[in-house]
Structure 1
Amino acid sequence: MTKKILVWFRNDLRLHDNEVLVEAISKSDLILPVYIFDPRSFGETDFGTQKTGNIRAEFLLESVLALRNALKQIGGNLLIKEGKPEEIIPNLVAEYEITEVYHHREVAKEETAVSGLLENELWKQKINLKHFIGHTLYNKADLPFPIKDIPDTFNQFRKRVERDSIIKPCFIAPDRINVADVIDWGKPPSLKEFNLKKQQHDKRAQFKFIGGEYAGLNLLQKTVSNIKHAAECKTLVMESMLSAWLAMGCLSPRKVYWEIKNSENIPNAKAMFNHILLGLLWRDYFRFMFKKHGYKFYEQDGFGNQPPVDTKNEEVNFDHWKNGQTGFAVVDAVMTELNSTGYISNLARQTAAHFLIDNLEVSWVYGAAYFEEKLIDYNPSSNWGNWANMAGVGADQKSKTNFNFDKNIKSLDPKGNYALTWAS
């Protein structure tokens, strides 16, 4: 009997360092690679925001098509569907006589709920849904503590894993695959089908995001080269901008780590490389925090009590903030850049968040929901975890006290050029 494995791609849109794909190829005669556009990932939220805004949606469409093209280059293809995975995949299992389904496990509540629904449906067909863990720098099995004992404070987490854990090498990208015989591989939906419009490129933006593994790997190489050059000239280098490809899984965090590790001995470059590695550690931390604490990061009071909320003016203040109309020039510039490009620096995110929470007295969950819509590099654990920490209700209770708003403003816009450039 021919063994066929369905590979369900989600936030792992790449060939390199993809254990699911490597394992499926080695354990099967044929695979069926599938990506499903779930309507629940789009549309309006309870906060009046969109689950996925137009900028990230376009980046996603580009990334899915890039994955299809990459699979075609090694003899495969990608079946693209629209609908609920727990309905579509069982039908595919029956139609193509699939023997097993593989996917990368998620940690946020909506994503894990979908996995649970699918697992229940597959159980009725006596088909196994095999879970893999491939979104983090450190493998869960290699941590120096079980999930329940992970330190809630980031600095303690960082010290322990850097001292006692290992980072495994990347899985090699396959150079050949055999896929099931499919008559119609489908096509991706348009932005219009999600009631979204294409975002026009803003000439003020210094960077253009293009989705897909190839673009992500190219940017990684440019980033390493730029850091080398900056180190030789003893100048500062801009943020790496890799986060969008990491969030979509077009880049593996381990791939980023090992590319940097191979170059870190360059004089004057270590500090710049360490800045990128620190970002990867924060990604791991929040993901493991979600695994440890479940849905608590979505609650307004989280692990403490949220700051005061001006319930009378909350809706108006929130609208002014998200539209860049607060009257505070730097904050308005941050929100204008976010709305125009889908990306702002980490410093800008902290500045906008604390202004919303402390100055406008709007509940932090509204800000988190708006960032979910707008950020091209959105991922649930980093976004909601960071917002909870900034509101003082996160697992790391020290995060709130470490923030200095005035100092942030001076660092973000020391000469006033940023506010001037992004004046709405």
Structure 2
Amino acid sequence: MSEKTILVWFRNDLRVHDNEILLEAIRKADKVLPVYCFDPFYFKQNLSGNSKTGNIRARFLVESVANLRKNLRGIGGELLIRIGNPAEILPQLAEEYQVNEVYHHREVAHEETEISEQVETALWKIKLNLKHFIGHTLYHKEDLPFPIKDIPDSFAVFKKKVERDSNVRQCVATPESITIPAITGAGEIPTLQMLGLDEPFGDPRATDRFTGGEDEALSQLEKFFINNSHTIIGKKNNVINLSKLSPWVALGCISLRQVYWEIIKQQQLNNTHYPGMLLDLLWRDYFRFMFKKHGQKFIAVKDQPEDVAEDVISGNTLFESWENGETGVPLVDAIMHELNATGYISNYSRQITAGFLVNELKVDWKRGAAYFEEKLIDYSPASNWGNWAFIAGVNDARESRYTIAALQITEQPAKSDYIDTWLPALKGDDYQAYAIK
């Protein structure tokens, strides 16, 4: 009787904990072949002429892949690493290692689903099946109180029905061991230079340094609850600190379910509540399901040549002032400096800078979305493009994700490590006198 080998194609699920495809492959196969491909598609030029994946984001990705390899080795496995088109690499590996089936987690955004379709087509040519799993949402599709086609477009209605009629599944077990084929060449973890990128510039103001990987994700989750263990919502002057877990969530270094059940556990242990975190998890689900329901219609077409050409002519200077933090508005500029230095800004800051680009500078929102895609280490296609499309008035999300304070950006004080000067708030043209880095 021949042995069964399953190839596990890792994408945005770079973890061993609560990873259904890894556990299922170990249960169903005699041998498991874990693979990660650094796809050149994600390092091609974006709308600004830069790499779709910037160097800070790429560094975080490389660290996360390296940590996945370490953790797989810890249970007796290995991670094959390749640079190239998955539609070419995966069939080659499947034939080399006599693979019987390929597992992966299903994506929803059009670029990612197109890559999956290319892989599926290539595998069919050698008579192999690409099995799809759902592992990026808090609520499983099959547990929703409505089919995908009937999901409410209103987030408020979606939230009410899901919370009332659905339950979050428990995390799956963490495998204790894995059996792999004899590996002839596992492949090296690429440097940024191998991906066509330079090392990130060491900005002395960048006090936050995010390190990729499942180990760091679990550590960050633990530290967050330790730091907030004595904070109770509702008491005066007590504020829950930001978890800053989103970079690890975006790459699947930690699952939404694991975060959710840890929140529930902490609420029971410490009588401390985290409504903001739970709401954020649900928004992530909402945007993914909206992409699943509407496809690209939810945000319109990302790359319309006529729109881009017009914007390059009419809005290039304005866009460059925004991306470089040189608008003359200290709050906006400080946020952009922080983004460029660290690859991370808060959701509140994203709403401010996106709204400023779209509503004040009148620049095509797709350029801003593409810039966030390049820079943000927690970039997630559905959340990023869905949020930008809402701000631009494209999709039908109907409710703003956050309530922005009702005061003018140009009337706010500016005090930040990312601005040279701090002065009391001024109005109008007086802001042009600030010295901005």
2:400 is equivalent to residue 393 of structure 1: no
| Post-superposition offset of 1:417 | 4.3
Output one character per residue of 1:258-314: Cα deviation in whole Å (capped at 9) or x when no partner.
Answer: 0110011366621xx111111111110100011011012442699xxx9xx988631
CA contact (8 A) 1:191 1:198 kept: yes
Aligned partner of 1:294 in structure 2 is: 295
CA distance in 2, matches of 1:67, 1:417: 36
1:378-405 per-residue CA deviation (whole Å, 9 max, x = no partner) reads 0100000000011111221343996556
Does structure 1 conserve the Cα–Cα contact (< 8 Å) formed by 2:56 and 2:200? Answer: yes
Match of 1:173, SS state, is coil
Provide the TM-score with structure 2 as the length reference. Answer: 0.90
* Aligned twin of 2:371: 370
Q: Map residues 10-409 of structure 1 onto 2, 5 A cutoff.
A: 10-231=11-232, 235-265=238-268, 269-270=272-273, 273-299=274-300, 313-399=314-400, 403=404, 406=407
Q: What is the SS of the residue equivalent to 2:92?
A: helix
Tell me the alpha carbon deviations over residues 76-125 of structure 1, each in whole angstroms, 9 at most, x when there is no partner: 01000111111111111111110000000001111111111111111121
Q: CA deviation at 1:229?
A: 3.1
**1:6–1:101 Cα contact (<8 Å) kept:** yes
CA spacing shift, 1:76–1:400, aligned 2, 3 Å:
closer
For residues 361 and 259 of structure 2, the distance between their equivalents in structure 1, rounded to whole angstroms, comes to: 38
Q: Match of 1:65, SS? A: helix
Distance 1:400 1:257, change over 3 A: closer
Equivalents in 2 of 1:356, 1:405: separation in Å? 17
Report how far residue 50 of structure 1 moved.
2.2
Is the contact between residue 392 and residue 399 of structure 1 (CA under 8 Å) also seen in structure 2?
no
**Secondary structure at 2:327's aligned position in 1?**
coil
| C-alpha distance in structure 2 between counterparts of 1:260 and 1:114, whole Å | 34
Alignment coverage as a number of residue pairs: 415
Q: Aligned letter for 2:324?
A: N
Alpha-carbon deviations, 1:120-147, whole Å to 9, x = none? 1111211111000000100000000111
1:214-240: CA deviation from partner (whole Å, max 9, x where unpaired): 000010011111121333996223311
In 1: Cα distance, 2:178 partner to 2:271 partner: 43
Distance 1:292 1:260 in 2: 29
Distance change >3 Å, CA 18–CA 98, structure 1 → 2:
same
User: Residue 214 and residue 301 in structure 1: after superposition, are their counterparts in 2 closer, same or farther (change >3 A)?
Assistant: closer
The secondary structure found in structure 2 opposite 1:89 is helix
Residue 131 of structure 2 aligns to a residue whose secondary structure is strand
Residues 312-371 of structure 1, C-alpha deviations (whole Å, 9 max, x = no match): 631111111101111111111111110111001111101100110111000111100000
Structure 1 residues 380, 300: closer, same or farther in 2, change over 3 A? same
- C-alpha separation in 2, matches of 1:45 and 1:197: 17
CA contact (8 A) 1:297 1:384 kept: no
User: 2:268 is paired with a residue of what secondary structure?
Assistant: coil
| 1:416 shift after superposition | 3.5
8 Å Cα contact 1:228/1:266 also seen in 2: no
Secondary structure in 2 matching 1:230: coil
Distance, in Å, in 1 between the alignment partners of 2:166 and 2:409 is 33
- Read off the aligned partner of 1:258 and give its amino acid letter: W
Give how far 1:45 is off. Answer: 1.9
Give the SS at the match of 1:264. Answer: helix
Secondary structure, counterpart of 2:205 in structure 1: coil
* SS state at 1:34 partner: strand
- Paired residue type of 1:224: F
Matched residue SS, 1:228: coil
| Cα contact 1:300–1:364 (8 A) shared by 2 | no
Q: Is the contact made by 1:351 and 1:405 (CA closer than 8 Å) also made in structure 2? A: no
CA drift at 1:406: 2.1
Unaligned stretches of 5+ residues in structure 2: 422-435
Q: Percent identity?
A: 52
- My pick for the range that moved more, 247-256 or 48-57, is 48-57
Structure 1 stretches lacking a partner, 5+ long: none
Counterpart Cα distance in 1 of 2:127 and 2:73: 31
Q: What is the CA-CA distance between 1:202 and the residue it aligns to?
A: 3.2
Q: 1:20 to 1:406 in 2, by over 3 A?
A: same
Q: Distance in 2 between matches of 1:29 and 1:122?
A: 21
**Contact kept in structure 2, 1:49 and 1:369, CA below 8 Å:** no
Contact 1:392/1:400 (<8 A) preserved: no
1:183-204 CA distance string (max 9 Å, x none): 2100122101222112144333
Is the CA contact 1:338–1:374 (under 8 Å) kept in the aligned structure 2? yes
CA contact (8 A) 2:330 2:414 kept: no
Secondary structure at the counterpart of residue 168 of structure 1: coil
Measured in 2, the distance between the counterparts of 1:390 and 1:89 equals: 38
CA RMSD of aligned residues (A): 2.4
1:158-211 CA-to-partner distances (Å, cap 9, x unmatched) read 111111100000011101000111121001221012221121443333422010
